[in-house]
Copies of this chain bind each other. A is one copy, B any other.
Amino acid sequence: MTQLTENLKAKNAEYASSFVKGHLALPPAKKYLILTCMDARIDPAAAFGIDLGDAHIIRNAGASAKDALRSIVISQQLLATREIILIKHTGCGMLTFENKDAYSVVDNNLGGQASKELKDLKLDFLPFPDLEAAVGDDIDYLKRSSLVPEDVPVSGWVYEVETGKVRRVV
């Protein structure tokens, strides 16, 4: 056990001791999905008012719609969600590098085999240079995809990690 896993067990035992939501159904009760970033400064349930059981919450580096497509299709087609809310945020790490930088860092930190694996996978880290433009691009991506039905409401937002405020962009 590491210190972090010990902490997880202890905190979870507290949580479970007063847990009363064991009856919730698999499909989200409010039939929507939130797509946001993995950033440590975002607590979607608290910041976006999501009650347990209400919404799918997808999180990846940069809140990338392309990276989330598999999860979005499952959410909508197999679990009946009907609205997509995409939220990127200020101060995102994805604004700070380009693919070539990430490839260099991996090569320097992890060496040739990791570098080769990265190239073989043709991994695109999906960074972006402009936050609001990236929100727009991802919304366009979702609207263009025939895998997202035209009647699904899709909106794009920016969350400010400095203020806790969210504002709509698209």
Residues of A within 8 A of B (CB): 2, 4-5, 7-16, 19, 21-22, 24, 26-30, 32-33, 38-41, 43, 45-49, 52-61, 67-71, 73-75, 77-79, 83, 85, 91, 93-94, 96-97, 102, 105-106, 109-111, 113-114, 116-118, 121, 123-126, 145-147, 149, 153, 155, 157, 161-166, 168
Cβ A29 vs Cβ B40 within 8 A: yes
- When distances are taken between beta carbons in the complex, the residues of chain B under 8 Å from A109 are 77, 149
User: In angstroms, how far is the closest chain B Cβ from the Cβ of A54?
Assistant: 6
Q: Which residues of B contact A33 (CB under 8 A)?
A: 38
Partner of A58, one of B38, B118, B124, B161: B38
Main secondary structure, interface of A, reads mixed
How many copies of this chain does one complex carry?
Answer: 2
Given contacts A24-B41, A85-B5, contact A166 B60 (CB under 8 A): no
Residue of B nearest to A55 (CB): B40
A76 — nearest CB in chain B belongs to which residue?
B109
Q: Are A78 and B58 in contact (CB under 8 A)?
A: no
Q: Distance in Å from the Cβ of A156 to the closest Cβ of chain B? A: 11
Closest Cβ of chain B: how far from A161's Cβ, in Å? 7
